[in-house]
Amino acid sequence: MAEFDVDLFVIGGGSGGVRAARIAAGYGAKVMVAEEYRMGGTCVIRGCVPKKLFVIGSHVHDEIEDAAGFGWSIGQVSFDWATLVANKDKEIARLEGAYTSNVEKSGARIVKTRAVLEDAHTIRLATGEKVTAKYILIATGGAPNHGPIVPGIEHVISSNEAFHLKELPKRIVIQGGGYIALEFAGIFAGFGSDVTVIYRGDNILRGFDEDVRKHVRAEMEKRGITIITGRTVAKIDKHGRDFTTHLSDGSSIASDQVMFAIGRHPNVRGLGLETAGVAINPANGGIQVDGWSKTSVDNIYAVGDVTHRTNLTPVAIREGHAFADTVFGKRPVQVDHATIPTAVFSQPEVGTVGLTEEEARAQYSHVDIYRTDFRPIKATMSGRDTRVLMKLVVDGASDRVLGCHIVGDGAAEITQAVAIAVKMKATKADFDATIALHPTASEELVTMRTPTARHVRQAAE
């Protein structure tokens, strides 16, 4: 009789857990996956996929407006929110089926129930069944965090509920200044809502390059989105179907929907972590892991947002794959968390990889900045008041490109390709030697010849 029921038990059927399960099963491991809600996790069910579908849909209004400059005369058009939501739901159901099918085809078994650790090798299912496992992988992701409790918090929605609203809000207040807040601000504004963004900091997109932060804010405000910084929501009152949002400075805003998007927390509660001896990282509230994604318990690992390292779906997938390679493939693989490209599907879109100007100046003695902002070719005919930002951060001593930051249409697509060059430690000379692809916005990345700024850090005496 086998010592354990399974070789690997995965708690969580999201991107990281599914990848780990499939790869481990491919190596011949007996694998079981527990998912209490829907296969696919945050990204597929209530995150990046439905969000991107909404973003694409919200762009159509701009396309219709821009068409006149190119000779198109488009008659009266209408938008139906319920149709968008219904079609999104169909696509998410299709993807959930694909995730389920792929796991089952790999030979792993799925149990649709909650799983809790009883000890380092025993998992108790909500069905009452107990399963023993040689290795356990926790991949339970994260959830929206509403922050400090304020009066009226029960009236607030998160990004989860935003995907299932019965109707499009005419006016919406969104608290937050990061990815999710700005993406939904653009979505709702694109569909015709009056949008107000409230953020406690001095400017949106904390942690991004300062030029990016300024450019995105200016472009969003051009689109009619109101951005209020240096304030927070103090209270929400409900009057029938409407809300009054009271801010920390005493002002108030009327709306028919209030959304909080001020961060996410790791899903660590109720998993039996303390019972099994799995430690929490006191710095971020996620499961504490080493460079191999191993927790404080030798046979228990954790990947993805539940560790609160880099909360991006491709990172969770890479971590899950590396775990399976290391433990079941006998091929040790560590994930390099440096130089991870990322995008904000705000409007305008942001793509970034590598160091910001501020980070580079703190780490390198000589930093050269190449920056340009320009009117995209489409706007010359459409008449839209918008500009694209492109910026390269370069080590002035070695000529290596340390970071690339783009704001504008297609920023994410461009950044994915540029990320390869940055990861390969390409130099500015390599960029300069690359012939431009004309006419494109991205050709600016290989035609910027003269630094717009040069920074030299003086040595401490």
In a domain, 353, yes or no: yes
Q: What are the distances in angstroms from CA 151 to CA 148, 198, 271?
A: 10, 17, 30
In a domain, 96, yes or no: yes
Answer yes or no: do 158 and 134 share one domain.
no
Preceding omega of 348 cis (within 30 degrees of 0): yes
Answer yes or no: do 37 and 140 share one domain.
yes
What does the DSSP 8-state code read for residue 453? E
Give the pTM: 0.94
CA-CA-CA-CA torsion sign (81, 82, 83, 88): positive
Answer yes or no: do 49 and 116 share one domain.
yes
Answer yes or no: do 163 and 46 share one domain.
no
- Give every CB contact of residue 42 below 8 A, 6+ residues apart in sequence: 14, 48, 141, 142, 305, 313
Burial of residue 395 (number of CB atoms within 10 Å: 0-12, 13-18, 19+)? buried
- Sort residue 102 into left (φ over 0), alpha (ψ -120 to 50) or beta: alpha
pLDDT band at 458 (very low <50, low <70, confident <90, very high): confident
Answer yes or no: do 226 and 371 share one domain.
no
Q: Could you tell me the residue range of the domain that residue 55 belongs to?
A: 6-144+265-327
In a domain, 332, yes or no: no
Higher pLDDT, 398 or 149: 398
Answer yes or no: do 75 and 128 share one domain.
yes
Amino acid 2: pLDDT: 72
CATH of the domain at 249: 3.50.50.60
Q: Is a pLDDT exceeding 90 seen at residue 52?
A: yes
Amino acid 44: pLDDT: 87
Q: Is a pLDDT exceeding 80 seen at residue 312?
A: yes
Inter-axis angle of helices 15-26 and 81-105, nearest 10? 20
The answer to whether 237 and 152 have CB atoms below 8 angstroms apart is yes
In a domain, 342, yes or no: no
User: Which of 24-28, 304-308, 417-421, 455-459 is predicted least confidently?
Assistant: 455-459
In a domain, 48, yes or no: yes
Single out the residue of 393, 389, 427 nearest to residue 409, CA to CA: 389
- Indicate the residue among 212, 247, 262 that finishes a domain: 262
Amino acid 460: pLDDT: 45
In a domain, 458, yes or no: no
Burial of residue 321 (number of CB atoms within 10 Å: 0-12, 13-18, 19+)? buried
Question: Any catalytic annotation for residue 405?
Answer: no
- Indicate the residue among 276, 293, 327 that finishes a domain: 327
In a domain, 371, yes or no: yes
End-to-end C-alpha distance for the chain, whole angstroms: 70
Single out the residue of 428, 422, 439 nearest to residue 374, CA to CA: 439
Bridge-partner residues for 456, per DSSP? 366
161-220 pLDDT, tens digit each: 999 999 999 999 999 999 999 999 999 999 999 999 999 999 999 999 999 999 999 999
Q: What is the mean pLDDT of residues 46-73?
A: 95
In a domain, 335, yes or no: no
Answer yes or no: do 124 and 69 share one domain.
yes
Q: What is the mean pLDDT of residues 262-277?
A: 93
Q: Any long-range contacts for 198-201 (C-beta under 8 Å, 24+ apart)? A: 198/173, 198/174, 198/228, 198/231, 198/232, 198/233, 198/245, 198/247, 199/175, 199/227, 199/228, 199/229, 199/230, 199/231, 200/229, 200/230, 200/231, 200/232, 201/177, 201/229, 201/230
Q: What are the distances in angstroms from CA 283 to CA 116, 279, 287, 436, 443?
A: 24, 12, 10, 45, 42
382-407 pLDDT, tens digit each: 999 999 999 999 999 999 999 999 99
Q: Is a pLDDT exceeding 60 seen at residue 461?
A: no
Q: Any long-range contacts for 248-254 (C-beta under 8 Å, 24+ apart)? A: 253/173, 253/196, 254/171
Instruction: Considering the candidates 215, 321, 438, 455, report the single residue annotated as catalytic.
Output: 438
Answer yes or no: do 356 and 314 share one domain.
no
d(CA 196, CA 243): 13
Higher pLDDT, 149 or 356: 356
Answer yes or no: do 81 and 162 share one domain.
no
Mean pLDDT, the chain, integer: 95
Answer yes or no: do 163 and 204 share one domain.
yes
Collapse the DSSP code of 215 into the 3-class scheme (helix H, G, I; strand E, B; otherwise coil) and give the result: helix
**Residue recorded with tokens 């998993």:** 271
Answer yes or no: do 41 and 136 share one domain.
yes
Amino acid 1: pLDDT: 46
pLDDT band at 459 (very low <50, low <70, confident <90, very high): low
Give the total number of structural domains in the chain: 3
Answer yes or no: do 137 and 284 share one domain.
yes
Amino acid 41: pLDDT: 87
Q: What is the mean pLDDT of residues 294-308?
A: 96
Pairing label, strands 242-247, 233-239: antiparallel
Q: What is the mean pLDDT of residues 272-279?
A: 95
The answer to whether 81 and 168 have CB atoms below 8 angstroms apart is yes
- Indicate the residue among 327, 356, 376 that finishes a domain: 327
